[in-house]
């Protein structure tokens, strides 16, 4: 029962509670819930158990601990699950040369313990006796198994039948054993009905505090070449991490994500310093003429005495640090926006947002980081460029489908209905006032734009397409004498095979979605428009159509 | 350190350094006693479980010594000591019977159960007959008995764990294997955990065969006796049995119960907490023991502590629950705060028993909190089912309308917050995922109620969020 070292800062409570339990008399079933930083918790538990299992059994600690981690994402069948547990408990690695055979206890179960739960129990007992005989050669200590089931909520979908036996594993196998479930969701969501499982010992992980996230030491390798990971930059790094946590912590509490953002931004952040250092090394004589603005005057004397470059790295003056902070702080939130949803990866992002060379030597007015805004809506922009190469008719079809997906069918006649004689639209929606009046009657209506696209019959879309074309395209057409009735040519246009082909093409591009099964013959096929509102706005702009006038419920 | 005769001041003071180890030993001793928790009675009249244990012991004894066929059902609420009682009875036996343990949770079909019986039989008769020298004279007859067992015959002369035994035997063997239990050379005790689940198997053939064998036991002269012990917490289990099965069951029901009075409950708590350590240093152990015992006495006379224990007792007499609570209490002890107080119990009960749902959401990130508030707003305006776009829209409105928009949030991180919330099943999807609906239009429902969200918002401590949330309450 030694003092248990905390593997990861911020997990002292867990280390104490969990470590004490496991090393003394653990409850047969423990449930650990962590909503926010699951991966870090998994690492912490793993490190804890590794430490505990490395402890030799002693008189105060009479059980040697063996543990195994099972990830429920990877172990999606019961065989995989059983094999993962027992092979790691006994430390067996299947090797390709042996035909990847599982561990088999001498004579006991004959290697078939992965078949079903009852065989698995026999396998566990055999494993316990094997491990026991391993340590019994030295002394008469016991064996304790700890089985960590990670992401236990997956069991509910993939292996619901083994949840109850797992939670009762200790009493079923009758060996010293503790099952630990770790999950993002609560036990209430997994618990089998009718009280089939005993209630676990609950441990709730508090989200890591901001303070506990700070001291991630810089990776200290490569002493000779001057990389961003040089130990000389340690103090600057800690300042940097503090600033980064201040900016990003409100948005995510996951240490992993913060580390990812740090990894993307840090090389860029310290690049100006490294550039500066290189520059000084290049021309050691005449340096005092050109670079003074970034070094404090009082530092100046010291600088003359010391080896210039390294000292500059060790202790960048407050002024330099402030300058760096000021330059880079806006990019931190950009990094968060781009990297948290993984719109880009860390390496690409770092490359794209690399500061210009010799940033610190520029006068403060000119030194700024360009293109920081460019990456913000890069995905939308990329989509827009892909749209630009669509044929004009396809763009109209997309626009018509968007209108058909967003507007209620009843509104079509109001929006697109025209009299025979007049070209101008008669009226547009008179709806907003009406709905405001009888608002109290029921729940307020939610705009279809927020609820997502509805499906529409192809005929309706074609009709809207006709109206759109008639209004926006008719005057551009060459005069064709064979059409006498107004709108006849458009009618002709929209019934061409090309239109149907374009619809199918757009469907295959997944810009439209076919909502009705393809083998249904009766009735027109149903489609759904899957482009976003922003996308539709871009399209409308390209086609010079006022989209907001066409929407029943404009923004 | 002078031995503390003054008791009341002690509980607040930190522990002197040399007693640190004693505290750890004490924790350990408490955990050990909690694991092997027994109900102790200090009253004159025996508790329900004492009577039950005696009845069960008599029954097993009848099988062991007089070769009777017995069947009984242990009925009692969860963690009232059913399994433990059976274990005690079996441990107390002088000669070891063949024990077949089945659980309704594991052996979900009769075929599985049958294979498990065969396997356990093989393990026990095989090993005990070979190793036990006392039974060597019986071994010869035993093997002849075994040959009558059609199941074992197929294994040939060396039945040691041939692979073929593990294949599921056809169900036609059922009727031959189970009666053959009578022919082995030792008494057999069959323990059926979760008995009610066996009753749910089709045609209840396993139960029928077992109970039929029990009934036939008396008839055959050579039989060594068999006992079938069922354990269940389901009260109407007997009614579940088919008529033909019920008529073969002896009808003996032994009831167990957990603590009947608060006094015995409290005695249990006290005895667990004052579990003795096995320290080597006697002086130190003596000093520690005095301190600890007096602190426990103070702890258990505190009115608030008694009240909270009483409340727990009234809610549930589950022994495992109080075990967990005590464990969580003791785990909080540190050398700086070495004695139990009311706070420890309160924290432990909040974590282990009355788990409020907001406990697990101590500090949500800013975007997540915003989404939660937006979902409450959506609920208030009559839309309990929402899409991400609806929440995002309402969030954007809020940022636009209030000048004190604290942090600019763009689509990226708030979308990730939505993912986080749905991964934590705070936002549950209403329909299954389908490829035709884009993710931002998937319909979700919030599983937290307004009061919980309120607590989350208050914990976040941001005034503008609180204001925004309170808007939803007015309408």
Q: Mean pLDDT over residues A168-183, rounded?
A: 90
Q: Taking residues A197-221, what's their average pLDDT?
A: 72
**Residue A542: exposed, middle, or buried by beta-carbon count in 10 A (0-12, 13-18, 19+)?**
middle
> What is the predicted pLDDT for the residue at B140?
36
Instruction: Give buried/exposed letters for A84-106 (b at 16+ CB in 10 A, else e).
Output: bbbbbbbebeeeeeeeeebbbbe
Q: Which of B360, B395, B410, B449 to mutate to test the interface with A (most CBs of A within 10 A)?
A: B360
Q: How confident is the model over B212-228, as pLDDT tens digits? A: 888 887 656 677 888 99
- pLDDT for B229 equals 93
Q: What is the pLDDT of residues A401-423, one digit of tens each?
A: 999 988 888 888 888 877 655 55
pLDDT at A471 over 60: yes
**Are residues B272 and B299 in contact, defined by beta-carbon separation less than 8 angstroms?**
no
| Burial class of A518 by CB neighbour count within 10 A (0 to 12, 13 to 18, 19+) | exposed
Q: CA A40, A46, A52: angle at the middle one, nearest 5?
A: 140
CB contact under 8 A, B381 and A528: no
- ∠B234-A196-B114 over CA atoms, to 5°? 80
Place B412 in a pLDDT band, splitting at 50, 70 and 90: low
Q: Tell me: the pLDDT tens digits for A119-163?
A: 888 888 888 888 888 776 666 678 889 999 999 988 988 888 899
Q: A450 and B390: CB-CB below 8 Å?
A: yes
Kindly state whether B108 is in contact with chain A, defined as any CB-CB distance less than 8 angstroms.
yes
pLDDT confidence band for A437 (50 / 70 / 90)? very low
Residue A376 pLDDT exceeds 50? no
Structure tokens at A196: 């089939």
What rounded mean pLDDT belongs to chain A? 77
Query: Between these two residues, A342 and B147, which has the higher pLDDT value?
Result: A342
Mean pLDDT in residue range B401-426: 69
Q: Which pLDDT band holds residue A223 (cuts at 50, 70, 90)? A: low
Whether the per-residue pLDDT at A109 is higher than 60: the answer is: no
Among A218-232, A269-283, A496-510, B451-465, which stretch is predicted with the lowest mean pLDDT? Answer: A218-232
- Smallest CA–CA separation between B5 and chain A, in Å? 30
pTM: 0.80
User: Average of pLDDT values for A172-180?
Assistant: 90
Q: Sorting pLDDT into bands at 50, 70 and 90, what band is A107?
A: low
Q: Which of A229-233, A536-540, B180-184, B251-255 has the lowest mean pLDDT?
A: A229-233
Is the per-residue pLDDT at A338 higher than 70?
Answer: yes
In 3-state terms, what secondary structure has residue B95?
coil
> Residue B161, Cβ neighbours under 10 Å: how many?
19
pLDDT top residue among B48 and A77? A77
Residue B127 has pLDDT above 60, yes or no: no
Q: Which of residues 131-160 of B touch A (CB under 8 A)?
A: 160
> Both tokens of residue B436?
């035709």
CA-based nearest residue in chain A for residue B362: A206
Give the model's pLDDT for residue A411.
82
Strands (E), A46-96: 63-71
Calpha distance A366→B272 (Å, rounded) = 74
Q: Which of A104-113, A255-264, B82-91 has the highest mean pLDDT?
A: B82-91
Share of chain A above pLDDT 70, in %: 76
Mean per-residue pLDDT over chain B, rounded: 77
Does residue A548 surpass a pLDDT of 70? yes
Give CA angle at B345 (B341, B350), nearest 5°. Answer: 145
Best of A16, A17, A31, A118 to disrupt the B interface (most B CBs within 10 Å) is A118
- Cβ–Cβ of B362/A206 closer than 8 Å? yes
What letter would DSSP give residue B337? B
| Amino acid B40: pLDDT | 53
CA B8/CA B341 separation, integer angstroms: 12
Look at residue A262 and give its three-state secondary structure.
helix
**CA angle A167-A173-A177, nearest 5°?**
65
- A58 has pLDDT over 80: no
CB atoms closer than 10 angstroms to residue A514: 17
Q: What is the pLDDT of residues A245-261, one digit of tens each?
A: 888 887 777 788 888 88
pLDDT in tens, A285-329: 554 444 444 444 444 444 443 444 455 555 667 778 888 888 888
Looking at per-residue confidence, does A257 or A443 come out higher?
Answer: A257
Does B428 score more than 50 pLDDT?
yes
Residue of A nearest to B380 (CA): A443
pLDDT confidence band for A31 (50 / 70 / 90):
very high
DSSP-assigned beta bridge partners for residue B354? none
Q: Higher model confidence: residue A429 or residue B247?
A: B247
Residue B152 pLDDT exceeds 70: no
User: So what's the pLDDT on residue A137?
Assistant: 65
Q: What is the pLDDT of residue B474?
A: 53
pLDDT at position B379: 86
Q: Scanning every residue of chain A, which has its alpha carbon at the shortest distance from the alpha carbon of B101?
A: A172
Predicted pLDDT at B372: 86
Average pLDDT over every residue of A502-522: 86
Inter-residue contact B402 to A329 (CB < 8 Å): no
Span B270-318, pLDDT tens digits:
888 888 776 666 777 788 888 888 888 888 888 999 998 998 888 888 8
Q: Do A253 and B357 touch (CB under 8 A)?
A: no
Q: How many helices (H) and strands (E) does chain A have?
A: 26, 8
Residues from chain A that touch B27, judged by Cβ atoms under 8 A, are: 20, 24
CB atoms within 10 A of CB B25: 21
Alpha-carbon distance B146 to A529, whole Å?
74
Contact B365 A196 (CB under 8 A): no
Q: Is the pLDDT at B134 greater than 80, yes or no? A: no
A489-493, B56-60, B202-206 — which is least confidently predicted?
A: A489-493
Position A375 scores a pLDDT of 44
Residues in A closer than 8 angstroms to B166, CB to CB, are 110, 112, 115, 119
pLDDT, tens digit (0-9, with 9 covering 90-100), for B78-88: 888 888 889 88
Helix A255-282 to helix A318-339 angle, to the nearest 10 degrees?
140
DSSP at A524: P
User: pLDDT band at residue B145, thresholds of 50, 70 and 90?
Assistant: very low
């Amino acid at each position: 029962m030694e003092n248990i070292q905390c593997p990861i800062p911020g997990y002292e409570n867990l280390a104490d509670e969990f470590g004490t339990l496991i090393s003394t008399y653990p409850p047969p079933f423990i449930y650990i819930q962590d909503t926010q930083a699951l991966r870090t918790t998994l690492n912490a538990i793993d490190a804890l158990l590794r430490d505990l299992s490395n402890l030799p059994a002693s008189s105060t600690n009479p059980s040697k601990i063996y543990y195994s981690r099972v990830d429920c994402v990877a172990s999606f069948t019961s065989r995989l699950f059983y094999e993962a547990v027992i092979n790691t408990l006994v430390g067996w690695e299947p090797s390709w040369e042996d035909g990847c055979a599982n561990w088999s206890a001498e004579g006991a179960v004959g290697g078939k313990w992965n078949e079903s739960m009852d065989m698995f129990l026999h396998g566990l007992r055999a494993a316990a006796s094997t491990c026991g005989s391993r340590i019994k050669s030295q002394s008469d200590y016991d064996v304790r198994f700890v089985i960590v089931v990670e992401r236990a909520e997956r069991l509910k979908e993939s292996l619901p039948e083994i949840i109850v036996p797992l939670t009762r594993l200790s009493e079923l196998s009758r060996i010293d054993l503790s099952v630990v479930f770790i999950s993002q969701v609560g036990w209430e969501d997994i618990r089998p009905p009718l009280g089939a499982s005993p209630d676990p010992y609950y441990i709730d992980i508090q989200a890591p505090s901001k303070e506990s996230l700070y001291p991630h030491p810089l990776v200290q390798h490569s002493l000779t070449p001057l990389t961003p990971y040089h130990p000389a930059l340690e103090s600057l790094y800690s300042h940097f991490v503090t600033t980064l946590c201040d900016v990003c912590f409100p948005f995510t509490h996951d240490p992993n994500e913060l580390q990812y953002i740090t990894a993307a931004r840090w090389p860029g952040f310290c690049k100006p310093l490294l550039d500066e250092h290189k520059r000084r090394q290049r021309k050691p004589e005449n340096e005092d003429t050109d670079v003074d603005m970034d070094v404090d005057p009082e530092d100046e004397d010291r600088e003359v005495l010391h080896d210039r470059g390294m000292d500059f790295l060790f202790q960048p003056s407050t002024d330099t640090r402030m300058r760096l902070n000021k330059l880079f702080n806006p990019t931190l939130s950009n990094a968060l926006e781009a990297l948290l949803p993984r719109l880009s990866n860390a390496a690409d992002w770092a490359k794209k947002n690399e500061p210009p060379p010799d940033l610190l030597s520029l006068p403060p007015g000119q030194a700024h980081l360009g293109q920081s805004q460019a990456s913000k809506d890069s995905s939308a922009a990329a989509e827009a460029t892909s749209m630009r190469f669509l044929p004009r008719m396809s763009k109209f079809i997309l626009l018509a489908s968007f209108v058909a997906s967003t507007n209620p069918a009843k509104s079509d006649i109001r929006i697109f209905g025209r009299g025979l004689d007049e070209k101008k639209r008669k009226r547009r929606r008179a709806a907003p006032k009406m709905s405001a009046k009888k608002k109290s009657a029921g729940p307020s209506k939610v705009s279809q734009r927020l609820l997502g696209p509805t499906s529409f019959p192809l005929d309706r879309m074609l009709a809207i397409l006709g109206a759109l074309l008639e209004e926006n395209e008719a005057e551009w057409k060459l005069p064709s004498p064979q059409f006498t009735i107004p709108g006849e040519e458009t009618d002709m246009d929209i019934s061409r095979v090309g239109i149907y082909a374009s619809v199918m093409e757009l469907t295959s591009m997944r810009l439209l979605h076919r909502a009705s099964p393809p083998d249904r013959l009766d009735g027109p096929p149903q489609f759904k428009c899957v482009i976003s509102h922003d996308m539709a706005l871009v399209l409308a702009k390209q086609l010079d159509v006022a989209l907001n006038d066409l929407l029943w419920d404009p923004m | 350190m002078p031995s503390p005769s003054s008791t009341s001041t002690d509980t607040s003071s930190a522990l002197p350094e040399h007693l640190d180890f004693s505290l750890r030993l004490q924790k350990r001793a408490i955990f050990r006693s909690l694991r092997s928790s027994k109900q102790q009675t200090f009253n004159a009249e025996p508790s329900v479980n004492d009577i039950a244990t005696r009845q069960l012991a008599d029954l097993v004894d009848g099988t062991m010594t007089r070769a009777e066929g017995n069947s009984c059902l242990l009925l009692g609420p969860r963690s009232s000591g059913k399994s433990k009682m059976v274990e005690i009875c079996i441990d107390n036996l002088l000669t070891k019977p063949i024990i077949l343990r089945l659980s309704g949770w594991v052996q979900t079909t009769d075929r599985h159960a049958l294979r498990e019986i065969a396997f356990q039989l093989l393990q026990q008769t095989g090993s005990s007959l070979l190793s036990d020298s006392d039974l060597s004279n019986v071994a010869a007859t035993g093997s002849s008995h075994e040959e009558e067992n059609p199941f074992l015959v197929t294994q040939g002369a060396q039945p040691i764990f041939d692979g073929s035994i593990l294949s599921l035997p056809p169900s036609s063997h059922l009727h031959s294997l189970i009666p053959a239990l009578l022919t082995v050379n030792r008494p057999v005790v069959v323990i059926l955990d979760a008995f009610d689940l066996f009753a749910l198997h089709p045609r209840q053939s396993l139960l029928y065969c077992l109970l039929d064998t029990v009934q036939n036991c008396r008839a055959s002269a050579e039989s060594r006796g068999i006992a079938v012990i069922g354990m269940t917490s389901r009260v109407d289990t007997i009614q579940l049995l088919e008529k033909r099965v019920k008529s073969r069951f002896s009808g003996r029901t032994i009831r167990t119960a957990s603590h009947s009075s608060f006094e015995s409950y409290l005695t249990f708590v006290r005895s667990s907490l004052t579990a003795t350590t096995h320290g080597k240093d006697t002086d130190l152990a003596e000093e520690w023991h005095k301190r600890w015992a007096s602190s426990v006495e103070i702890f258990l006379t505190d009115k608030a502590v008694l009240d909270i224990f009483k409340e727990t007792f009234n809610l549930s007499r589950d022994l495992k629950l109080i075990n967990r609570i005590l464990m969580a209490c003791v785990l909080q002890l540190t050398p700086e705060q070495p004695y139990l107080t009311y706070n420890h119990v309160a924290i432990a009960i909040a974590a282990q028993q009355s788990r409020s749902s907001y406990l697990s959401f101590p500090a949500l990130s800013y975007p997540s909190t915003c989404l939660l508030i937006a979902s409450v707003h959506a609920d208030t305006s009559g839309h309990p089912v929402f899409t991400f776009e609806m929440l995002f829209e309402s969030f954007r409105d809020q940022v636009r309308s209030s000048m004190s928009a604290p942090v600019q949030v763009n689509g990226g991180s708030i979308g990730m917050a939505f993912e986080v919330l749905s991964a934590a099943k705070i936002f549950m999807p209403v329909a299954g995922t389908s490829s035709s609906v884009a993710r931002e239009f998937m319909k979700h429902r919030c599983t937290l109620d307004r009061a919980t969200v309120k607590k989350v918002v208050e914990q976040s401590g941001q005034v503008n969020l609180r204001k925004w949330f309170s808007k939803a309450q007015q309408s």
